[in-house]
Structures are given as structure tokens and as C-alpha cells.
Chain A
Amino acid sequence: MIEYRSIAKTYDDGPAAVGDFSLTIPSRTTTVLVGSSGCGKTTLLRMVNRMVDPTSGQVLIDDVDVATREPVALRRSIGYVMQQAGLLPHRKVVDNVATPLRLAGVHKKEARERALVALERVGLEADLARKYPGQLSGGQQQRVGVARGLVADPNILLMDEPFGAVDPIVRADLQQQMLELQQELGKTILFVTHDIEEAFLLGDQVVILRKGGVVAQVGTPAEILASPADDFVSSFVGLDRGHRKLRIKEVDGQQVVVDEQGRPTGVLAP
């Protein structure tokens, strides 16, 4: 369990990036922080592994304040997947994935073997392991990033817009794979995105943020769609744009689901 208690963050040269933020992230579930740029979502994510320290307030992992943990050791215990993958260009793919293990003191041979298993798990063929990251496509690099995040089997996985830089088809693929992996592994995942569709697809709990880290609404995707807290949330999740207001239309004896403009989006299963 990750717990934010009255977190505030002010940078030297600006207004508060985060005002007064509190949230509980249950273990073994996916929580998605979603909001436009400037809402402080990445700042909040990076507080968990102390890449950013809050100006005031506490972040607790299983009731231990992370401020009492040594940052380097803390980071080694938490998986981190970032946008653009952040792979080391001078290390082969297999060594990139093995990095967290090597840092934890695992012997080279064993680390590589486990890295190959992690690569296979994210659907990458073994012959890619010997290449350098620059020789891979964007989607492949992102998979390598996920493999690196998972290789040391951390309880917590932080994901900062990991699929933001790949094309829609690859992104959908990566999202599906992540759902499958989470089903199997049951990690505590904190995921940051600006894409509400992605948030609803992946999140057990979705946190919609306004500017300055102000929580607009917390809930399951269904709860948020059923009863949006205010106009900001309605508009953010797209309830005002018609494609979420669905109706049923009878066509040839089938129940076809259509949106506000009457465009069909699917059929109702019998």
C-alpha cells in the first residue's frame, strides 16, 4: 500500500506544483493518475521512489515513510518505466534489462538469464537481446522498458506515460499485454497518463487531477462515468462530447449501440 499524506511541493522558481494531496493506493491494484500537463502527476509519481522529495507531507510505503529510506536502495526496490523507455544506449538490450538485478548484486550470468525470461514475458524474441536499443523500434524499446521494470520482481511498479510515444496500434497492443501481465503478477502499479481512455482501460482506481495536483475525483472508471463529480470531470472524461452517451437502436432484430449522433459503436450481446 502506498499512502500520500497532505503532500505539497513547491519548486524554487514557481507556484506550487502540488498543493495538498492525499491518496491511498491499495496493494496489488493499478491506480492511474490522469490529468493535463501541469497537474503534477509526474511529480507525485516520482515522490514514491524519492526522485522528488515533497516540500511538506509524507509518502508511506506499507506504513514506512520513504523519507527515512536511503534513496538509492529505495529506487532499487521499485520498478520504474518511463516515457521514451530511457534505455541505456551503450548497453545491449539484455544488459539493459539486467541492470536492476546487477545493481542489486546479482551475478552477471544469473542476471542475464533472468533478463531473457523477462524479455520473453513481454513478447520480445531472444535474438533482439543482443542488439543495442537504438536498433529497436519505439514499441520494442518500450517493451524492453517494461521488462526492465519487472525483472527484479518489485512489489511496486511506477509507470510514467510509458506508452505515450508509440503509435496507436502498438499502444493498444502494449496496453493489452500490460493487463495480462497484471492479471498474472498482481503488482501495485502507479500509472501516470494524460489519456483518459488509457486510464479507464488500465485503472482499478482512477484519480483525475486538476492543475496543481488538486484531486477532481477518485473512483473506479464505472463510478466516475456514472456520477462525475462536476463539470470539469464530465468534460475531462468526454461525457459532454456525445461519444460516451450511448443508446440502443433496434436494427434487423439486433440491438445496436449508438452514440449521441447515432453512430454505431457495437452490438449488445444477447
Chain B
Amino acid sequence: MTWVRANQDRLVDLTWQHLWLSVLPVVLGFLLALPVGWYASRFRGFRAPALSFGGVLYSIPSLPLLVIIPSIIGTSFLDPINVAITLTIYALALLVRTVADAFGQVPAEVLDSASASGYSRWQRAFTVELPLAGPAMLAGIRVASVSTVSLVTIGALVGVSNLGSLFTEGFQRYFNTEIIVGMVLVVALALVLDACWVLLGRVLLPWARGKVV
């Protein structure tokens, strides 16, 4: 506890850093997965290659990626952007399948009825398909969000500071308190973020209450 109080400012800094490194990739990954997944759900020929591509992306080990990305986009090795990009790739890989499945389970008769009422293709996609795919997509986002919060800690290995830095330091110094505090904060952050997603779902998808996992 004394250690926590002594390092309070740093812990807050690390938590904020960790937070934006977690949220940004999930949001970006989702925005990228949205058109890809939608297209995959509507055009069968595109589905298999899109989903396999997602699988391949997810199987790339993260450390090499963290080393390669700076040389591709010309950032420094310590730039947090590298971590954000890496995690965006993983979030995208996770969410493409979720989004494709979410659009796939929108009831066919509802789509049919919307078309018969005179929705144009785009109106239907944005005002019928997107909201109805919402609950399933939200469930996927929650999984991606939790997994991203824990993946961010890997950034500490390449020197991008976040709550994971408490692990690396703790190990180097054989200082268990620091490791435990790091773990507690990471788990707490994951839970708080998850609660935020649930809350967002309540606000954006009021009709699905009881359906959202």
C-alpha cells in the first residue's frame, strides 16, 4: 500500500496510457471489420477468403510485428503507435468473423419485408441490418476488448510503457507487490471497459434488452 501511495501519479499515468492503447485498437479494428464482415456475410465467395485472412492475421506473433511495423511506417521503436497498430490488426482479425456472423443471423424475413416496404439497398444496410447485427457485434467487441487489454501489456516488452511495465519492472527487481498491483489494475481496467460496452449497448440497442449477452 505504501508503495502504491508513493507511486500514485505514475500508476495513474500508466493506467491512462493502457486505456487508450486498449480502446483505440478495438474501435479502429471494429470500424475496419465492419465493411469487410458485412461484405463477407452478403457475398458467399468472399466469406471464406476473408475469414481465413482474419485467421492468418491473428496467428502472426506479436513481438516480430512490434519490431517490423516501425521499419514499415518509419516510427521509432518506442512509439506507442506501433502497439496500437499491432493490436488493431488483432482486433480486426477477431472481429471480422464476429461481424460476418452478426450480419448473417439477421432474420431473412425482416430483410425481405424491409425491401418490400421500399428500403433501398443502402438504407436497408444502415438502418436495418446494422442495428439488428448490433447485439451480436457488441458481444464480439466485448471479447476483443478484454483480450486487447491483456495484450497491451506485451508492449512493455518493447519499451512502450503501460500497466505491463509494472510486470517487467517487478520481474527485474523481484518485487512482487508491483506485479500484483499491475495485475489487479489490468483486470480492473478490463472489467470497467466491459461495463462501458454493456452500458453503450443499453443506450444504443434499447430494443435488445435481455438479448445482449
Do A and B make up one complex?
yes
Residues of A within 8 A of B (CB): 46, 49, 51, 72-73, 75-76, 80, 82-92, 99-100, 103-104, 132, 134, 148
Please choose the segment from B11-19, B37-45, B112-120, B164-172 that sits at the chain A interface, where 4 or more of its residues have CB less than 8 A away: B112-120
B112 close to A82 (CB less than 8 A): yes
Interface 1/0s, chain B 105-132, versus A by CB < 8 A?
0010110111111111001000010011
Q: Which B residues lie within 8 Å of A134 (CB)?
A: 207
Asked if B205 is an interface residue, CB under 8 A from chain A, the answer is yes
Asked if B63 is an interface residue, CB under 8 A from chain A, the answer is no
Asked if B68 is an interface residue, CB under 8 A from chain A, the answer is no
Interface 1/0s, chain B 61-82, versus A by CB < 8 A?
0000000000000000000000
Q: Which A residues lie within 8 Å of B119 (CB)?
A: 72, 103
Q: How far is the CB of B211 from chain A (nearest CB, A)?
A: 9
Which residues of B from 87 to 117 have beta carbons under 8 Å from A?
A: 107, 109-110, 112-117
Q: How far is the CB of B82 from chain A (nearest CB, A)?
A: 39
A82 close to B116 (CB less than 8 A): yes
Q: Which B residues lie within 8 Å of A92 (CB)?
A: 207
Q: How far is the CB of A138 from chain B (nearest CB, A)?
A: 14
Q: Which A residues lie within 8 Å of B109 (CB)?
A: 82-84, 86
Interface 1/0s, chain B 6-40, versus A by CB < 8 A?
00000000000000000000000000000000000
B118 close to A88 (CB less than 8 A): no
User: How long is the Cα–Cα vector from A80 to B116 in the complex, in angstroms?
Assistant: 7
Q: Which A residues lie within 8 Å of B188 (CB)?
A: none
Q: Which A residues lie within 8 Å of B114 (CB)?
A: 86, 88
B131 close to A90 (CB less than 8 A): yes
User: How long is the Cα–Cα vector from A75 to B128 in the complex, in angstroms?
Assistant: 17
Q: Which B residues lie within 8 Å of A46 (CB)?
A: 116
A89 close to B110 (CB less than 8 A): yes
B116 close to A148 (CB less than 8 A): no
Asked if B200 is an interface residue, CB under 8 A from chain A, the answer is no
Q: How far is the CB of A52 from chain B (nearest CB, A)?
A: 11
User: How long is the Cα–Cα vector from A88 to B118 in the complex, in angstroms?
Assistant: 13
Q: Which B residues lie within 8 Å of A91 (CB)?
A: 207
- 23 examples of A-B residue contacts, CB within 8 angstroms: A72-B118, A75-B115, A75-B117, A75-B118, A76-B118, A82-B113, A86-B109, A86-B110, A86-B114, A86-B116, A87-B110, A88-B110, A88-B113, A89-B110, A89-B207, A90-B128, A90-B131, A90-B134, A90-B208, A100-B117, A103-B119, A132-B207, A134-B207
Q: Which residue of B lies closest to A73 (CB)?
A: B118
A99 close to B207 (CB less than 8 A): no
Q: Which B residues lie within 8 Å of A88 (CB)?
A: 110, 113-114, 128, 132
Q: Which B residues lie within 8 Å of A90 (CB)?
A: 128, 131-132, 134, 205, 207-208
Q: Which B residues lie within 8 Å of A75 (CB)?
A: 115-118
Q: Which A residues lie within 8 Å of B120 (CB)?
A: 72
Q: Which A residues lie within 8 Å of B123 (CB)?
A: 103
Q: Which residue of B lies closest to A77 (CB)?
A: B118
A80 close to B113 (CB less than 8 A): yes
Q: A75-B117, A83-B109, A89-B107 are in contact. List 6 more A-B contacts (CB 8 A).
A: A51-B115, A51-B116, A72-B120, A88-B110, A90-B132, A134-B207
Q: Which B residues lie within 8 Å of A104 (CB)?
A: 118
Q: Report, nearest first, the 3 A-B pairs whose CB atoms are least far apart.
A: A86-B113, A76-B118, A75-B118
Q: How far is the CB of A115 from chain B (nearest CB, A)?
A: 13
User: How long is the Cα–Cα vector from A187 to B97 in the complex, in angstroms?
Assistant: 46
User: How long is the Cα–Cα vector from A72 to B123 in the complex, in angstroms?
Assistant: 11
Q: How far is the CB of B169 from chain A (nearest CB, A)?
A: 48
B117 close to A148 (CB less than 8 A): yes
Q: Which B residues lie within 8 Å of A103 (CB)?
A: 117-119, 123
User: How long is the Cα–Cα vector from A21 to B207 in the complex, in angstroms?
Assistant: 44
Q: Which residue of A lies closest to B135 (CB)?
A: A90
User: How long is the Cα–Cα vector from A99 to B117 in the complex, in angstroms?
Assistant: 8
